[in-house]
Amino acid sequence: MKTFLRLWWRPVTLVLAGWLFLGAVAQAAPAASSSPLAGLDSIQVNVTTAKGGATGGLSVNLQLLLLFTVLSLAPAILIMTTSFVRIIIVLSFLRSALTVQQPPSQVLVSLALFLTAFIMAPTFDTINKQALAPMREGKITAEEAMTKATSPLKTFMLHYAREKELQLFMELSTTEIKADKPEDLPLNVVIPAFMLSELKTGFQMGLLILLPFVVIDMVVASILMSLGMMMLPPTIISLPLKVMIFVLIDGWSLLVRSLVMSFNG
């Protein structure tokens, strides 16, 4: 019994002391409310600005909001509305056909980005002349600039979007779409149709790249089997042959030329 009391008297004492302290604080709270600081919650702060300052500050805030929104969506916009999709798919097929881990993914993405900038340069120049430059000069508002900027992009996407894909997304749309001409179609139809068309075109070009290298693998495997070297992996022999042939025909220049010319038609 004595051992039990020795173990529990200290915790019980601490609880009682804490309870007494809280009671004292609760009793002192009404008295503290009469202090000069008690009216701070009722103080009203009136801020006055100049007539031109309020409008200018609001405009700057909206511009910053628009800027950060565009920057956050820039990767998606770059992938969805430009030639990047087709280029990166074809480059990925090439690396798979060569059955090597080189060049690294960072190099392929960088090459695709620079080729996209080269191909999209006329469209970006039109956007700068029609939308960005007038907005910087204050001739048009941000909303008008956004409308003028989407027009060249829509023209580019409609040029390469297939009619079948456009019709597909018009049928899948939950709202009725009335368009007398393709330029009247909304972006929520044009962008997915363009992406689907680019995926199809990229896979077609990738298949044409893949087939010759598959033939090389089959020839090497047949030769090794006829020589009785079945334990030797065919990729050990076919890999240097594929790389050598690709280098001898100047494959990178041919590939880049084909990609750029596919957007000039």
Q: DSSP for 142-156?
A: HHHHHHHHHHHHHHH
pLDDT the model gives residue 10: 52
CA nearest to 97, candidates 207, 199, 249, 213:
213
Structure tokens at 106: 């960072």
**Per-residue model confidence as pLDDT tens for the chain (265 residues):** 444 344 444 544 544 444 444 454 444 444 444 444 344 344 343 433 334 443 444 467 776 777 677 677 777 777 888 889 899 999 999 888 888 777 888 888 899 989 998 998 888 888 888 887 887 777 777 777 777 888 888 888 888 888 888 888 888 877 777 766 777 788 888 888 999 999 999 999 999 988 988 888 888 888 888 887 777 777 788 888 888 888 898 888 999 999 998 888 6
Q: Which residue matches tokens 């002349």?
A: 129
What distance in Å separates the CA atoms of residue 51 and residue 113, rounded to the nearest whole number? 46
pLDDT the model gives residue 203: 92
Give whole-number Cα distances, 14 to 26, 37, 141, 206, in Å: 19, 33, 68, 77
pLDDT the model gives residue 9: 47
C-alpha gyration radius of the chain: 34
CA nearest to 261, candidates 85, 119, 81:
119
In sequence order, the 6+-apart residues with CB closer than 8 A to the CB of 42 are: none
What distance in Å separates the CA atoms of residue 171 and residue 188, rounded to the nearest whole number? 13
Domain boundaries, the chain: 66-208
pLDDT the model gives residue 102: 75
Q: Which residue matches tokens 């503290």?
A: 32
pLDDT the model gives residue 265: 61
